[in-house]
Structure 1
């Protein structure tokens, strides 16, 4: 956990005069020893008061800070620079940014005692949480999954590969060809994106992926395809990790968040991104449902700030989720499909992972 921003004022520090007194050693004898002891006691009490004041200031700042959950990595760093730091400086209160796994429960962030206020999550998670009442409904009709999230960005999920070992851009079918391209493969430890990729690798056209995946036969087909690759898979659980495992040579190819790979640069490897048959995933901001008026006002203020054209442009200049001028047409991930099917497919995925 981190507390990256502190705009609630300077913490107290030891004045130079007291530091000098601590460093001085004035010889005193006889009756003056009592005076020297008293002086030291007085300095110690002053220092204790200063430290206590600083601690209370820090505790007060943290108690009134806006707690934001995001996904970390280059994305979180770009949000710090484009949104959170300028907002905190403008408004005069702090922001605590935590890295989380994208699940809107529990409200307390990783057992730290800080309940989150605003959180970034996948659109399918937003829709499910909206229906469960674990996000504040910002608009829309009751009983619908609309208007519980404020769109944040579209993240591209592409095939990243080591260009030092494969000079020509591979496709998902090549991803499964471990004879021609021996080496480990990286995939997200989640049915979302992973099952779509398995079907495209098996020859399903992107436009037909969700129609096929919506049938029992299509689900079985996707898992059969995954089973072919099982011994070679290295699982990743966060966008930043997807970029790290290709950058450090842990895998030959991986599905990866394009923005994280682009931000990482070449790293230890010359990494390429194949955008044909890539996925386009929506991420949105959700607001906790049980905020008091002051916290809710701060949350709304932050969402409004992040939506301003100047801040949007600043963020786009820092985080490149898609390539500029690419002719490739990504497959938009279907949030409605995953809202409906995620519970069942997550159980099926967990059972498949646990199987020998």
Structure 2
């Protein structure tokens, strides 16, 4: 009788422990101002509503770390915010769990490309040309100006890697926005982009973490940079800086939420994805994160003053280039190898 009682207590304790463990969720995003905004708009209200404890990590991208976690049986990141080409490649490789769209929402409720088998669009973001308006009263207006070291002396900040860098080089060399990927898809186009980069190679300061671009500009270490535009807008609002953004020739893309294969918290992850991409919740994000959103109805609810600084503003989008994820899925490895060899010379 006593033994049976102890067994019952032990079973109850184990069940309670399993329940407590289940009420956790790790979300890994890109850090900085965007993740700080996500915490206020998504993480904290979601935890308050559901009782699910959220732990955070940040990363700087790259499928290598995700492969290591999945293949090593260490999927301790549950929901990860990834770039478009990472979503496609990771899905093809089986690194992500298929999403349960019956529970997340209707695919047609999201902007084009945001609802896929493995990922749901989290944000729409932009990499573009920015400079400090307090230092440059007459600033650059194009990538051609960015390359003009005589008219605008000083160093240039650029994200280290071929993606965005090669596109900007072709734009600076006179390639039309709608021809960039057509040209870059040819060996001659790749050679052309690297020849253009040669012109300013000695003046480039490379960055890898998103916070570094604005910091380099603010410190005067560079005169301008190709940076995450949301970081510049966030700094203007929070720190009263005077970053100016050049929208023509910027590149916009969708980032996706994915669930890492082997996650022990798939139920919690699905609940989070449904919550964070719903219109009534997502509508509040642009005012803090300074990035676009993916729910169609949520976009109609964004204040006009906030919308003017977003990549989803039609006026900005009409002058920008849409990142071609499929191009980078097919070419990222070989172009990264070439870029690394070029950068090391």
Shift of 1:320: 1.8
Superposition RMSD in Å:
2.7
Alpha-carbon separation, structure 2, partners of 1:186 and 1:320: 21
Change over 3 Å in CA distance of 1:83–1:268 after alignment to 2: closer
Shift of 1:153: 1.1
Shift of 1:85: 0.6
Alpha-carbon separation, structure 2, partners of 1:178 and 1:269: 24
Match of 2:231 in 1: 260
CA radius of gyration, larger in: 1
Alpha-carbon separation, structure 2, partners of 1:136 and 1:353: 36
Q: What is the aligned counterpart of 1:338 among 328, 331, 334?
A: 328
Q: What is the aligned counterpart of 1:244 among 190, 202, 215?
A: 215
Alpha-carbon separation, structure 1, partners of 2:116 and 2:20: 35
1:84 partnered with 2:55? no
Runs of 4 or more above 4 Å deviation: 60-64, 266-269
Match of 1:14 in 2: none
Match of 2:167 in 1: 196
Match of 1:136 in 2: 97
Once the two structures are superposed, the pairs formed by residues 152-171 of structure 1 within 5 Å of their partners are 152-170=122-140, 171=142
**Structure 1 length normalisation: TM-score?**
0.75
Match of 1:327 in 2: 315
The superposition leaves residues 178-232 of structure 1 with CA deviations (integer Å, 9 ceiling, x where unpaired) of: 1121111011112111110010001101100000000000001111111111111
Alpha-carbon separation, structure 1, partners of 2:116 and 2:247: 30
Change over 3 Å in CA distance of 1:247–1:205 after alignment to 2: same
Shift of 1:114: 7.5
1:115 partnered with 2:73? no
Match of 2:258 in 1: 286
Alpha-carbon separation, structure 2, partners of 1:264 and 1:114: 34
Identify unmatched segments of 5+ residues in structure 1: 1-59
Match of 1:127 in 2: 88
Identify unmatched segments of 5+ residues in structure 2: 1-18, 102-114, 293-306
Aligned length, in residue pairs: 290
**Structure 2 length normalisation: TM-score?**
0.78
Q: Compare relative contact order (CA 8 Å, sep 6+) and give the higher one, 1 or 2.
A: 2
Match of 1:352 in 2: 342
Match of 1:65 in 2: 24
